[in-house]
Structure 1
Amino acid sequence: MPQKKKILIRIGSLRHGGAEKVLVTFLKNLPQDQYEIDLLLNLYSGKYLSEVPDWINIIYLNKGEMITTNRIQDIPKKAARVIYQNALKKFPKLLYNGKLKGKKYDIEFAAIHGMRDEILNSPLKSSKKIVWIHNDLSEVKEYTEAEIKKFFGFDKIMVISEKIERLFLELAENEIQKSKIVKIYNPLDTDEILVKAEQPVVNYEFEQNIPTFISVGTVFPQKGFDRLLKVHKKLLEEGFKHKILIVGNGYDFENIKKLKTELNLDETATMLGFTDNPYPYFKNADFYILSSRYEGFPTVLFEAITLKKKIIATEVSGVKEMLNNGELGLIVENSEAGIYSGMKKVLLDSQDFEKYTDKLKDYKMPFNLENSVQKIISILDKM
C-alpha cells in the first residue's frame, strides 16, 4: 500500500469566513486513505471546527474566542496571544520541534495568503509548499508589487478567479513562475445550501410589502456595509420604502452598528450578527446585495445564485465570472454611487429584474464541488 502523504495546513481559525468555509468543504471531500493531515490553527475557534473530519488532526497555538474589542480586561490575554504567535513566527524551529513534535511533512499548505511567511519560513527545506489566494491582493494596500512577488517562493499558487490569475501572470518574471499559478474555483456544496435554506427563519420578520435587501459576510471594512447603510439612508429620504438585513459578525461590527444608529436607521436596517445557517434569510429576502470594496471570488454570490436570488453586486474580482458578465445579476460600479444606482433601479422597477430570474431558472453552475476537489487532489498528488 502506498505511503500516505503527510500534509501540514495552516489557517488563522475556523471562524465564519469564505476561505474557512471553503477549506472545510475541501477537507470533508478528501479521501482519508491517501493523506495524513495536521491542521494548525493560530486560534482554536469558529463555527466550522465541528465540521472538520475526525481523521484530521487539529493542532492550535491558542484556544478561546477571538478578542475583537480593546477592553482593559482583555488586553493582557490579547497581548499574550500576539507575543506567543510572533515568537513562533520569528523562531519557527520552536514550533516545529515543539507543537509539531519534529514531524517531517511532504507538503506545507498556506490556506490563506496571510500565512505566507509562516509557510515560506518553515525549517523543512524538503517539503513542497502551496498557497491558496482568496483575495485580489492588488486591492489590499499593504500588498505592494514586491510583497506580492514573494508568493513566487511557493511551489504552487492556487488562485480562485481570473482577475487574481491575471495579477500573478502579469507579475511573473519567467515561465517557471508562470507555471506555478493554477486557477481553481472554490469547492462549494450546492446540495447543502438547498437543504439548509428550507429551515425556518428565527429572530427576524420579513414584511410582505416592503422589499428586503440582504447582505451576508464577515463585518470588515472590505465588505462595504458602511456604504450600504449610507445608500439605504439616501433612498429612504427619497421615499423608497425598503429594508436592509446584514447577516454576519466581525471586528467592525460595533462600528457599523454605531453608524446605523447615527444615521437613524434602527427601524429599517437590522444587523443580525452571526448565524450558523444564513440560507433561510437568503431565501426569504427579495434581493441579494454585494457591497464589497474588494473580493477574491465572493463565495456568497455562489450561494445567492444557488438560491436563485435577484442580485446586485459591485464590480470586484470574481463578480463578472460568477454573474456571467451580467447575465445573472446587475453589476454596478464599485462605489457608493454604484450601489445607489443599482438599488434605486430595482426599487423603481423590479420587473426589470425578471430577465435575470429567467436566466437563473435553468442555470447550471460551471464550477462544482467534485471538479474543484479533484483538481486540488491532482496538485497534491503530483508534488
Structure 2
Amino acid sequence: MMKFLIVTQDMNIGGIQKSLLNLLNRISEENHNIQLRLFNKQGDYLGFLPSNVKVDDCGYFISAISDSKRDLLKNRNYIKLIVKIILMGFAKVTSPNFIYKMLFKLDKDKTEYDVAISFSQDNYTAVFSKGCNQYVTDYVTSNIKAAFIHSDIINESADIEDMRKKYRLMDAVINVSNSGKKTFDEIFPEYKSKSFVMKNLFNESEITKMANQSYGITNPEKSLKLVTVSRLSYLKGTDRILKLANKLKEIGFHDYVWHVVGEGTGEYESSRLRQWAKENNIDDKLIFVGNNPNPYPYIKNSDVFVFPTRTEAFPMVTIESLILNTPVVACRYSSVDEQITNNYNGLVIENNDDAFQQGLISLMSDGFRKIHDWTESLNSYSYENEKNYSEFNRIIGELEEKCRAHDRVDRK
C-alpha cells in the first residue's frame, strides 16, 4: 500500500476534475492511502469521490484567492472577497509566486508521502490560477513528485522560464497526449528523460449508465440534433456557436436543435446567452442548458457532438461522446488525430471561424448521410482504458526503482 497526495484546484465540473475523478476511482480500488488536497474545497464532483479518499484544503487564505469573485459575491462571502482583492493587489506589486509562498508556509504539510502529484498545471492567464506545482515541489515531503500537464502549453500564454524552474524539481512530468509530450520535449529538451504520456481514464460503464437516465428533453424526431458540452468562453469557441446560429437563421436553415451544456462568466454566462438567443428569435433552436454534472443523456440523444474549441490538449468529452456512439465534429487541436479518425467517426475542421461555419453548414445541409455512416463506424469503437492505467503504474514503478537505487548508492 502506498501513500498518495494529490493536489488540485477544486472539484468543479470540468475536464481536469473529471480526469482526476476517474484516476482516483482506479487508484482507490488498490487500497492505497489517498489524500486529496484542494485549494478550494468545492465542486459538484466532490459527491462522486470514492469513500476511501480523504479530502482537505490548504487553509482559509488559499481558499479565498482560489475562489472566483463571482462565486464569492453570489454566496455573499464578502470577507473572503476583500481578502482576495487585497492579496491580488499584493501579487501585482510582488508576484503570485511570492503570495503563494507566504500562504503555503501557514499550512505546511509535515506528512511524508510515497507519491505527491500536482494534478493542475499552472494557468498564466489569471493572477491566482496556479500554485499546485509550487506547493508539491516546495512544501511537501515525498519520495516521488510528479506533475500532470492537461493543456496545450504553446497556446496557454505560459511563462516558460517559470515552468522550467518548477519542472526541474519534479521527478516526472506526465502529459495526457502524445502531441503534448512532443511539445513539452521540444520546449524543455533537458527534461525529456522524465516526461511521460498517460492518457485520461474513462469509466465507460458509468458513462453508459448515466446516459440512460431521463433528462426531460424531447427532441424533434426529424430535426438534426447537435450538442456541445464545454466551459463557455472565447477559448472554447462559444462565440463560433453564436455566429453560426445567426448564419443559419440568415440562410433560412431551421431544421435543427442545438443543446449547449456548460457555464461561463461575464458575457459568456449561460443566462446572458439564453437572453441573446431569445432576442434573436432562435431560443427554440439554440438552447443553453447551464452546468450539469450529467451531460451524457444530451450527448447520447444527439446526432453529432460539436466541439468549436480554439485550443485543447486531450479533451475528455470527445472520447465520452465516441463511447456513447455519437460522432464528433471538432476544430483541429493538438491531439485531435489521437482521438478522431477524420471522415470515419467524425469530422476534423481547420481551426478558424470561416472553416467552422462552412464545415458545419455543409454537414447540416447533407442531412444524416455522413452522420449515419460515422455512427455505424462507432459500433466497433473501444477505448484503451486498461493500457493507460497500466502506463500510470509503470511510471510510478519506474520512479520507485530509481528511488531505491539512489538509497542503495547513499548507503554505500
TM-score after normalising by structure 2: 0.81
- 1:187 is aligned to 2:184: no
SS at 1:243 equivalent:
strand
Counterpart amino acid of residue 107 in structure 2:
L
Q: Say whether residues 1:265 and 2:291 are aligned partners.
A: no
Determine whether 1:138 maps to 2:154.
Answer: yes
Aligned to 1:108: 116
Secondary structure of the structure 1 residue equivalent to 2:35: strand
Is the Cα–Cα contact under 8 Å of residues 23 and 111 in structure 1 kept in the other structure?
yes
- Aligned partners of 1:312 and 1:330 also within 8 Å: yes
Does structure 2 retain, via aligned residues, the 8 Å contact 1:15–1:46?
yes
Residues 47-56 or 16-25, more deviating: 47-56
Matched to 1:105, the amino acid is Y
One-letter amino acid of the structure 1 residue matched with residue 379 of structure 2: K
What is the identity, as a one-letter code, of the residue corresponding to 2:164?
A: K
Residue 129 of structure 1 pairs with residue 145 of structure 2: yes
Q: Do the aligned residues in 2 keep the contact of 1:226 with 1:259 (CA within 8 Å)?
A: no
Give distance in 1, aligned partners of 2:392 and 2:27.
Answer: 10
Give the superposition deviation at 1:323.
0.6
Q: Note the C-alpha offset of 1:355.
A: 3.3
Q: 2:353 aligns with which of 325, 336, 341?
A: 336
Q: Is the 2:7–2:136 contact (alpha carbons within 8 Å) kept by the matching residues of 1?
A: no
Shift in CA distance, 108/79, structure 1 to aligned 2, threshold 3 Å: farther
Tell me, yes or no, if structure 1 residue 92 matches structure 2 residue 109. Answer: no
Over the matched positions of the two proteins, sequence identity in percent amounts to 25
Q: 2:171 matched to 1:159?
A: no
Q: Which stretch of structure 1 is more off in the superposition, 278-287 or 84-93? A: 84-93
CA separation in 2, counterparts of 1:239 and 1:274? 30
Contact 1:18 1:299 in 2 (8 A): yes
- Tell me what 1:206 maps to: 219
Q: How many residues align structurally?
A: 370
Query: SS of the residue aligned with 2:371?
Result: helix
Q: Residue 405 of structure 2 aligns with which residue? A: none
How far does the alpha carbon of each residue in 1:221-258 deviate from its partner, in whole angstroms, 9 at most, with x for none?
Answer: 32111111111111121111122211112434255445
Structure 1 residue 219, shift from structure 2 partner: 2.3
| Corresponding letter in the other structure for 1:131 | A
Specify the alignment match of 1:5 in structure 2.
Answer: 2
Alpha-carbon offset, residue 39 of structure 1: 0.9
Amino acid at match of 2:41: Y
Structure 1: gaps of 5 or more residues: none
C-alpha distance in 1 between matches for 2:101 and 2:138: 9
Correspondences of 1:54-65 after superposition (within 5 Å): 54-60=51-57, 61=59
Report the residue type matching 1:193 in the other structure: I
Matched to 2:372, the amino acid is: E
Query: What are the superposed Cα offsets for residues 55-110 of structure 1, whole Å, 9 maximum, x if unpaired?
Result: 221112357986535859555423435768975543433221xxx3x212232211
Matched with 2:80 is 77
How far does residue 116 in structure 1 lie from its aligned partner after superposition?
4.6
Aligned to 2:332: 315
Residue 296 of structure 1 aligns to which amino acid in structure 2? A
Structure 1 residue 195 displacement after superposition: 1.5
Letter aligned with residue 78 of structure 1: L
Separation in structure 2 between the aligned mates of residue 92 and residue 21 of structure 1, nearest angstrom:
26
**Which structure carries more helix by proportion?**
2
Match of 1:228 in 2: 241
State the distance in 2 between where 1:82 and 1:317 align.
Answer: 36
Q: Distance in 1 between matches of 2:343 and 2:83?
A: 48
Q: 2:262 aligns with which of 248, 253, 256?
A: 248
CA distance in structure 2 between the partners assigned to 1:138 and 1:265 by the alignment? 36
Q: Say which is worse superposed, 124-133 or 193-202, in terms of deviation.
A: 124-133
In the other structure, the counterpart of 2:127 is none
State how far apart, in whole Å, the 2-side matches of 1:83 and 1:41 are.
22
The residue aligned with 2:19 is 22
Tell me: CA distance 1:29–1:83, structure 2 relative to 1, closer, same or farther (3 Å): farther
Q: Distance in 1 between matches of 2:298 and 2:102?
A: 44
CA distance in 1, matches of 2:245, 2:165: 41
The within-5 A match list for 1:20-59 is 20-31=17-28, 35-59=32-56
Asked if residue 275 in structure 1 is aligned to residue 288 in structure 2, the reply is: no
Of stretches 152-161 and 108-117 in structure 1, the one that deviates more from structure 2 is 108-117
Contact 1:152 1:180 (C-alpha < 8 Å) held by counterparts: no
**What is the CA distance between 1:136 and its match in structure 2?**
0.5
Paired with 1:283 and 1:41, the residues of 2 have a C-alpha distance of 32
Q: Which moved more, 1:271-280 or 1:62-71?
A: 62-71
Cα gap change, 1:301/1:33 in structure 2, threshold over 3 Å: closer, same or farther? closer
TM-score by length of 1: 0.87
Say which SS state the counterpart of residue 163 (structure 1) adopts: helix
The whole-number CA distance in structure 2 between the counterparts of 1:83 and 1:77 is: 10
Could you list the per-position Cα deviations for residues 158-187 of structure 1 after superposition, in whole angstroms to 9, with x for gaps in the alignment?
Answer: 11112211111112333xx11111111101
Query: Shift in Å at residue 15 of structure 1?
Result: 0.7
After superposition, the Cα gap between the structure-2 partners of 1:78 and 1:89, relative to the gap in structure 1 and judged at 3 Å, is farther
Structure 1 residues 166 and 82: CA distance shift in structure 2, 3 A: farther
Would you say 1:306 and 2:323 are equivalent positions?
yes
In the alignment, which of 355, 362, 383 is matched to residue 380 of structure 2? Answer: 362
- Which structure 2 segments of 5+ residues have no match? 89-95, 123-130, 401-412
Partner SS for 1:309: coil
Whole-angstrom CA distance in 2 between matches of 1:343 and 1:9: 40
For 1:211 and 1:340, how far apart are their aligned partners in 2? Answer: 16
* Equivalent residues of 2:28, 2:53 under 8 A apart: no
SS where residue 235 of structure 2 aligns?
A: helix
